[in-house]
Structure 1
């Protein structure tokens, strides 16, 4: 029998259907044996007292290449994710220059990612007014799906979609068998409320939050769902922050709409009250909600009504956060390193099985976006993408253990109940004991054709 590259033994492995103490055999970057393994191996990892998860797939990060690497680039961003047990990410299309709204831009960004990223990645293409003719060519270049904003994005190169653009784009995306991801906040409503506040000199944290109410999210979600029924377009709602929006999406699922939703750890761990306490580091869009609304959102998570957890990692140099006018502060959370730890914390706090973490962070994203079972699973034939977690070793977040390009985060001073011990991608150790290995190169992933999401039938 061939000598294996790795055997990982004595750990508790979290599969989709339960936790089992079995060994994993890895060869040529792939899981080739599970169970009682008698083969020889060049390397052995004793995972005694540790728990092994599939590496997380973060479907929503904002890196800034090409053009704005000083904010966060593929190298620093992928290292940061690897330190958090993330082994695959999907980069959003709006923060580079140029934005990823043409096939040429997709090719350029993919080349940069393959040169610099330590882990595998996919790319979102953009839907903006005037680029509907580019969608087919971007699909041919292998984008994961398309992203559109229903309110201003904060980037002049990436305009929000008016209703005509949205309908035409959704019709085209349906024909391409792709998914449209939506930032769902009502542009007319949020713009009206913001301008009204600013005209009256009202620029505080409370004023900013009031300008982006739950009603703005619910209105945009409802409108997009109506359009999806007419066009047959598959939808994925990003960073959903309210129970009202979840209910709309769940009702649409029952009516046969192919739709999924994600939320982010910051909406499940933090609240508007924390925003007021922490200041601009906690500004995002939609804003953090009040404690009672956060608790409603958590109830949906507990009822399996939230499909995915993603980070929406959206960093910037600190000077863009360091302003008094909350409408001028950059709106993004720097937190990609902590999504898997957050998911585990939530499961532990609410006595959920660890299989729930696998669904939120690995199997559901892989299935939704055509990567399963190569990604998102611990199975024979799956890539050996793994996060080995010391479940009973707390992790205190400090500037010293932040791997993002700019060492600040909403999560600073938070203590997670567990620690990422080792991250492995395709059989290579890329993070261990607080250190990153910079010897790996990620691939640009191209998904299979989208199919009706399995969670419409059961979750």
Structure 2
């Protein structure tokens, strides 16, 4: 007996689109076929809708526990559910304590289990002084590890130096895990930032100048060299330049185990957005000039970027305030985690890219890279029944009332996308409906890897 049958929708997978019914039993996809018969408890008519695999966002910052006033598992997961995201991985910094040992990971896991309405995994951190904690983090269920190569602005989660980075890579490789890196050269960005401060230059153009593409490329090249010495699988987060993509792809062609992501804001927004909207558009690496954005888009279209993540990095509204146009001192991070699927659809429409690519970028590839692909990222028998029912062509305009994050402060406010999410399901349970909003019922669970 099927619990749910979704009928008459157009299923979108990484291999293409097709009309089909989907049958669910006990939270798992049982059958996908052109027509399904059989007893059932519930039937959903998806006529006119596209059924995407629930998006998998492996890069969000929910700051919970400790800074839930910035964002928390409850508000953050409801925001994701409203955007068709059914699984996320929370980064190890910004919470208190940072997730740099097994006890902190277990504490965060408990909070997530109590509050999240969608499924989740957790990152462990590589920071100065915690090399001996890495195995405990892995044993406690850390999906992968994250480190910074430039200052973080967080005293509890500092950037790692070269020696610790090398030793950390060696140990992470031995644990069979992946290390993700924020790859910007710390010496370069710190030197350029201090130079601007001394000169009293703190505006949008000055901020961009402190984080040039060359700083991203240098850090990527150095990390790849260290990985060649240690055998550590690498993943580069929020890559913002075609030049960095080329370096990573060259390493992959040589046989290295390396992947990369970019974010919707690097594909849809430019440095002009920072100049126009102020600190809500500040992030690191920064939004690039239009010429550089077009080069990055070309890499995306050539299938040289593995997948998309939101890098949802919110804060309290006052931290986004600027005094006298001072961009340098404003919090850096873009809030928009619930919009990755819609942004990917918008990008696909603008570039005339098949929707199958959207399913690959937002679901299949991130799940596959981080060991979630046995249950997440696809619509197929045996997979978790995670779906986003999307109306292509029915636009969605972001407003404070439908943003759902802790704070309605986002560069995407009032932006319009050419599709809208009508419903979201996690393991067959509805966690969002367009007419009622996100569920208040905790349906999510931590994914044990």
Q: Normalising by structure 1, report the TM-score.
A: 0.96
Matches of 1:268 and 1:16, distance apart in 2: 20
**Paired residue for 1:366?**
367
Runs of 4+ in 1 over 6 A off after TM superposition: none
Is the Cα–Cα contact under 8 Å of residues 145 and 177 in structure 2 kept in the other structure? yes
Aligned match of 1:330 = 331
Contact 1:10–1:46, Cα closer than 8 Å, also in 2: yes
Task: Map Cα deviations across residues 383-410 of structure 1 (whole Å, 9 max, x no partner).
Answer: 0000000001011111221111001211
> Which residue of 1 is the match for residue 192 of structure 2?
193
- What is the CA–CA distance in structure 2 between the aligned matches of 1:120 and 1:433, rounded to whole Å? 20
Does the CA-based 8 Å contact 1:115-1:441 persist in structure 2? no
Secondary structure class of the residue paired with 1:305: coil
* Deviation, structure 1 residue 40: 2.2
For 1:146, the equivalent position in structure 2 comes to 145
Shift of 1:366: 1.1
CA distance, structure 1, for counterparts of residue 373 and residue 94 of structure 2: 28
- What corresponds to 2:228 in structure 1? 229
Structure 2: distance between partners of 1:281 and 1:142: 34
Paired residue secondary structure (1:394): strand
Query: Does 1:175 pair with 2:177?
Result: no
Residue of structure 1 in register with 2:422 after alignment: 421
Q: Distance in 2 between matches of 1:40 and 1:351?
A: 41
3-state SS in 2 of match to 1:236: strand
Give the drift of 1:351.
1.4
Unaligned runs of 5+ in 1: 448-459
1:131-180 deviations in Å (ceiling 9; x for gaps)? 00000110001101100000011100001011001000000001001000
Q: Within 5 Å, which residues of 2 pair with 1:85-100? A: 85-100=84-99
Shift of 1:326: 1.2
Cα distance, 1:15 vs structure 2: 2.2
Tell me if 1:446 matches 2:441: no
Moved more, 257-266 or 433-442: 433-442
C-alpha distance in 2, partners of 1:73/1:399? Answer: 17
Partner of 1:109: 108
Q: Could you give the per-residue CA deviations for residues 372-431 of structure 1, whole angstroms, max 9, x where no partner exists? A: 131111001110000000001011111221111001211112110000110000000000
- 1:391 alignment partner, SS class: strand
CA contact (8 A) 2:348 2:354 kept: yes
Maintained 8 Å contact 1:428/1:440: no
Give the SS at the match of 1:144.
coil
Instruction: Work out whether 1:164 is the aligned partner of 2:163.
Output: yes
Q: CA deviation at 1:249?
A: 0.3
**2:14 maps to what in 1?**
16
Q: Aligned partners of 1:401, 1:444: CA distance in 2, in Å?
A: 26
**1:202, 1:17 → 2: CA distance?**
50
The whole-number CA distance in structure 2 between the counterparts of 1:373 and 1:98 is 31
Which position in structure 2 is the counterpart of 1:405? 406
**1:442 Cα offset (Å):** 1.3
Once residues 30 and 199 of structure 1 are traced to their aligned partners in structure 2, the CA distance between those partners, rounded to angstroms, is 59
Is 1:436 aligned to residue 438 of structure 2? yes
Between the aligned partners of 1:198 and 1:15, the Cα distance in structure 2 is 49
CA distance, structure 2, for counterparts of residue 171 and residue 45 of structure 1? 50
Aligned match of 1:282 = 281
**Gaps (5+ residues) in structure 2?**
none
SS at match of 2:394: coil
Contact 1:393/1:418 (<8 A) preserved: yes
Within 5 Å, which residues of 2 pair with 1:345-384? 345-384=346-385
Query: 1:402 touches 1:408 (CA, 8 Å); kept in 2?
Result: no
Q: Is the 8 A contact 2:426 2:443 kept in 1?
A: no
SS at match of 2:430: strand
- Displacement after TM superposition at 1:73 (Å): 0.4
Note the C-alpha offset of 1:297. Answer: 0.4
1:386 counterpart = 2:365: no
SS at match of 1:7: strand
Q: CA deviation at 1:99?
A: 0.4
Which residue matches 1:39?
38
Partner secondary structure for residue 447 of structure 2: coil
Q: What does residue range 234-245 of structure 1 map to in structure 2 within 5 Å? A: 234-245=233-244
Superposed counterparts of 1:200-211, under 5 Å? 200-211=199-210
Encode CA deviations 1:251-295: one digit per residue, 9 max, x unaligned. 000011100000000000000011111111100000000000000
Instruction: Measure the CA separation in 2 of the matches of 1:214 and 1:446.
Output: 37
Following TM superposition, by how much is the alpha carbon of 1:441 offset from its aligned partner in structure 2, in angstroms? 2.6
Bigger shift: residues 309-318 or 322-331: 322-331
- Structure 1 CA distance, aligned partners of 2:245 and 2:183? 12
SS in 1 for 2:176: coil
State the partner residue of 1:119.
118
